[in-house]
Amino acid sequence: MTEVSQNYVGGEWVSSETGETFDVQNPADPDETVASYQRSSAVDAAEAVAAAVDASDEWRRTPGPERGRVLRRAGTALADRKDEITEMLVAEEGKARPEAAGEVQRAIDIFHYFAGKAADLGGTVKGASSRDTTLYTREEPVGVAALITPWNYPIAIPAWKLAPALAAGNAVVLKPATLAPGVVLEIAAALDEAGLPAGACNVVTGPGSEVGSEFIRNDGTDAVSFTGSSRVGETVYEQATDAGKRVQTELGGKNPTLVTDSADPAEAAEIVATGAFGTTGQSCTACSRAVVHESVHDEFVEELVARAESIDVGPGLDHEMGPQVSAAELESTLEYVDIAQSEGATLASGGGRPDGDAVADGHFVEPTVFTDVDNDDTLACEEVFGPVIAVIEVDNFDEGLAVANDVEYGLSASVVTDDHTEAKRFVDEAEAGVVKVNEKTTGLELHVPFGGFKRSSSETWREQGDAGLEFYTIEKTVYDN
């Protein structure tokens, strides 16, 4: 019997008013239903917002150090169940076990990190014109924060929104992605066990167009933090802005790695392969364009193809690269393969479904390398969100930099070079929120700001670290005479 999970609202586990559920299938074996979740409606979402509004005052008045203790206990509760949560993540989202374990650990670390930050929040004393006046700032929560999250980092992204929001004293309503909601309900259970007051965190599963939309529309929410596709996120941004809410959107990417003539082709291929094929290419920061100097191009491609072909594709529990998350995502990747070929790119490796019993039924795709890609080609412009890398040959560093920047997105960008001047120029001129030298485009420490330029992000706010807390905080200036 498939387990039917419930929503977490007002500190209770509750069913949707619709009486309907939806199933989540294992992407490595779609015949296996992993779990069922509430197919909630706008009415359920509104009830969750009402619960958050009711809880808001108590949580806001809970002293920072106590809020921190709750977050620390929640992190520890997640750590106690790390192995089970890791397996749930693999079963629902499909990524390889070490990647899933790393992601769960990141969520635990985020809760512990913001536990410390909660104790430290408060404000700053400033110099006043009169000695009789104590002049200071007070950091206050924004109110109720609506959090809407994607499937590709189904526990880390909710954690990096929830933990700072709660640390700063906000109540939250959260709508996880429908493809992998289970791990978010694990966070809710951990917060419940940790003693979070009822209603301070509410999780409602169901369609974005109903649950997510209601969170944005409802007068009870004050801020909206969204991570997902640019297509949905740009609408969310408009809706939330029109409703007068503070809004943060973290969206898609089309991230380049520039390989210069001073780069070692083997080292560059390793950096590009790990950035492109890790998490089956389903990272917002995945490398999807390798912009390569003609003098190292052929050797680089040879090395990259060798790496692509050596990757062991199969169910994430015991293989190096798992499936795509759904049949629709797999189909979309294969369509991009067709489009690239029809636009004249050369398929250098992969491009289809792998052979073998272990991969017969799941949404598996081969790591794929295209060469002879023009920067105007569809493959170089649109986010594929699968393990597909477009190699674009350039004649010199200036052209490479221009090509790297010539895209609608600006999330992450890296350069592989042995030349310090080139590295400095790249850092200076790359149009991306995260810039790396001799490193893959993916991966970021939890205490540094994360966000993009151009269509990758709403630019006003960043996530993670102190920058992440700012979104959930309003400063009051106080004169006390």
Q: Residues interacting with ligand NAD, by CB under 6 A?
A: 148-153, 157, 175, 177-178, 208-209, 212-213, 227-229, 232, 236, 250-253, 284, 383, 385, 411, 452, 456
Q: Which of 201, 284, 287, 381 is catalytic?
A: 284
Q: How far is CA 110 from the centre of its chain?
A: 14
* Residue closer to ligand NAD (CB basis): 26 or 213: 213
**From the CB of residue 399, how many other CB atoms can be counted at a distance below 10 Å?**
16
State which residue, 199 or 228, has the beta carbon closest to ligand NAD: 228
- Collapse the DSSP code of 36 into the 3-class scheme (helix H, G, I; strand E, B; otherwise coil) and give the result: strand
Q: How far is the CB of 216 from ligand NAD (least distance, A)?
A: 6
Distance in Å from the first CA to the final CA of the chain: 66
**Closer to ligand NAD at the Cβ: 218 or 456?**
456
The structure tokens 């790359």 sit at 430
Shortest distance in whole angstroms from residue 39 CB to ligand NAD:
12
Task: Specify the residue, 144 or 296, whose C-beta has the smaller distance to ligand NAD.
Answer: 144
Dig out the tokens for 158 from the structure: 């909710």
Instruction: Considering the complex, state which of residue 252 and residue 367 has its C-beta at the smaller distance from ligand NAD.
Output: 252
Shortest Å distance, C-beta 464 to ligand NAD: 10
To ligand NAD, the closest distance from the beta carbon of 60 in angstroms equals 26
Q: Which residue's C-beta sits nearest to ligand NAD?
A: 208
Q: Is 284 an active-site residue?
A: yes
Interatomic CA distance for residues 85 and 223, integer angstroms:
29
Task: Compare residues 74 and 247 and give the one whose CB is closer to ligand NAD.
Answer: 247
Residues 21 and 38: their CA atoms lie apart, in Å, by 4
Q: In angstroms, rounded to a whole number, what is the distance separating the alpha carbons of residues 134 and 457? A: 39
Q: Which is nearer to ligand NAD, 153 or 461 (CB)?
A: 153
Task: For the CB of residue 385, give the shortest distance to ligand NAD in the complex, in Å.
Answer: 6
Structural contact between residues 433 and 444, judged by C-beta atoms closer than 8 angstroms: no
Characterize the bridge pairing of strands 171-175 and 144-148: parallel
φ, ψ dihedrals at 207, nearest 5°: -65, 140
Cα–Cα distance for residue pair 239/229, rounded to 1 Å: 15
Pairing type for strands 473-480 and 368-371 reads unpaired
- β-pairing, 246-250 vs 223-227, is parallel
Asked if 78 and 24 touch (Cβ cutoff 8 Å), the reply is no
**Burial bucket for residue 242 (CB in 10 Å: 0-12, 13-18, 19+):** exposed
In whole angstroms, the minimum distance from the beta carbon of 299 to ligand NAD comes to 31
Closest to ligand NAD by CB, 324 or 417: 324
Place of tokens 């999330």: 411
Residue 181 CB, shortest distance to ligand NAD, in Å, is: 9
For ligand NAD, the closer CB: 269 or 321: 321
C-alpha distances in Å from residue 59, one per residue of 51, 138, 159, 199, 465 = 12, 16, 18, 9, 21
Return contacts of 416-424, CB within 8 angstroms, 24+ apart: 416/257, 416/258, 416/259, 416/260, 416/263, 416/264, 416/267, 416/268, 416/271, 416/272, 417/258, 417/260, 417/262, 417/263, 418/260, 418/262, 418/263, 418/264, 419/260, 419/262, 422/260, 422/262, 422/397
Smallest gap, in angstroms, from Cβ of residue 286 to ligand NAD?
8
Interacting residues of 203 by C-beta distance below 8 A, sequence separation 6+: 7, 8, 9, 48, 173, 174, 175, 176, 184, 185, 187, 188
Q: In angstroms, what is the minimal distance from the CB of 467 to ligand NAD?
A: 13
Residues belonging to the active site: 284
